Amino acid sequence: MSRRIAKAYWLCQAGGWGMLGLVYIFFHLTISEKTDPYFFQNLILFLTEGVLFSHFIRMVVRSFNLLKLPLAGQIRAMFVTVLLVALLFATTDVLLVTLLKINTDAKQATLLTQILRNWFGTMLFLIIWTLIYFTYHYVVVSQNEQLDKATLSNMVKELQLKTIKAHINPHFIFNALNSIRALVDENPTRARTAITALSNILRSSLQAEKLETAPFERELNLVKDYLDLEYIRFEERLQVIYEIDEDTLDQQVPPMVLQIMVENAIKHGISKQVDGGCIKIISDFTENRYELTVQNTGQLNAAIHSSDGFGIASTQNRLRLLYGGKGVFDIRNIAGNMVETKIAIRANQV
């Protein structure tokens, strides 16, 4: 037990039993009609015993780890402990006041009667003390458990996000390297330009490792660098259309999420088309939510949900981890031989 906790405990002990003593004194001086020459001696003895025997209950609780029992077990243990300690308290009190000759009831009641009478009285005080003690610890333990669960949940969430990012970065880097490799001999000038674009991507990806969300403008610039690399591979077979609401440039989105959406559009859409196709990137606020949409030429098929479609699965997981049910992912075929991938984030998350 730390010194701070020990100090707080003994202050509570002194304060609680001290307040009880003041209440006794108040009633004795204002209401009581009986004259008791030993009132203060008896009171001091009782309060001293109260501190000692309540502390004894605490020692029993800690020694037998009663606070670790289920709630029902704690209640039973509390009742038995108070019952026995109260009997010991009452017996000790009667014997001491008798030995010290400060017992005003000595001629009016037998020793057993005095013990039984004191037993019920001391039991009442000890029950109150024990209820306060157990309630305090039950509340504290419950709060600590909730805090531990929240901390563990955050640690798991952070670990999952880092794991997802660890898979994402090599995924798009390797594709970019393949595009550059094809240019090294054919067109060194364009290869140098591609390397510059790739360095921008690498720089952004290193920063992404430290972020849970990033401004959409940053992610858009990253995708433009990526598309510069893909232009080298597809040339006129790749067309890109941007429909960006400038108000959305500051919108926070998961890092690399747009990159994954565009990469899948090329890998599973454009690259499958003999004549290539079009990619349209749309960023806008719609009613009470933010929507990020990527449309591409092609048809949705099962391959995108296979192991090759890790980016799709990671996007779904990241939205669930970051936004719970307030971040929605959808991918579907739309009219005109097009596939639409959309992320929507509700207004209170925007």
Using DSSP's 3-state secondary structure scheme, residue 2 falls into coil
Q: How far apart are CA 103 and CA 113, in angstroms?
A: 13
Domain positions in the chain are: 3-150, 182-349
Per-residue pLDDT of the chain (350 residues; tens, 9 = 90+): 567 778 888 888 999 999 999 998 988 888 877 777 888 998 999 999 999 999 999 999 888 888 778 888 888 888 899 999 999 999 999 999 888 888 766 556 788 888 888 898 899 999 999 988 888 877 776 677 677 666 656 665 565 555 555 544 565 567 667 777 777 777 778 778 888 887 876 776 666 556 678 899 989 988 998 888 788 778 889 999 999 999 999 999 888 789 888 988 888 888 888 888 999 999 999 888 999 999 999 888 755 554 444 556 767 777 877 787 788 898 999 887 899 999 999 865 55
Q: How far apart are CA 216 and CA 222, in angstroms?
A: 10
Tracing tokens 């037993």 back to the chain, one arrives at 119
Alpha-helix runs per DSSP H in 209-286? 216-234, 257-268
Residues of the chain by 3-state class (helix, strand, coil), percent to 5: 70, 15, 15
Query: Both tokens of residue 320?
Result: 């669930």
Using DSSP's 3-state secondary structure scheme, residue 341 falls into strand
Q: Would strands 277-286 and 289-297 be described as parallel, antiparallel, or unpaired?
A: antiparallel
At the topology level of CATH, where does 182-349 sit? Heat Shock Protein 90 (3.30.565)
Residue 323: φ, ψ to 5°: -120, -5
Going by the DSSP 8-state scheme, the letter that residue 14 receives in this structure is H
Q: How far apart are CA 85 and CA 54, in angstroms?
A: 8
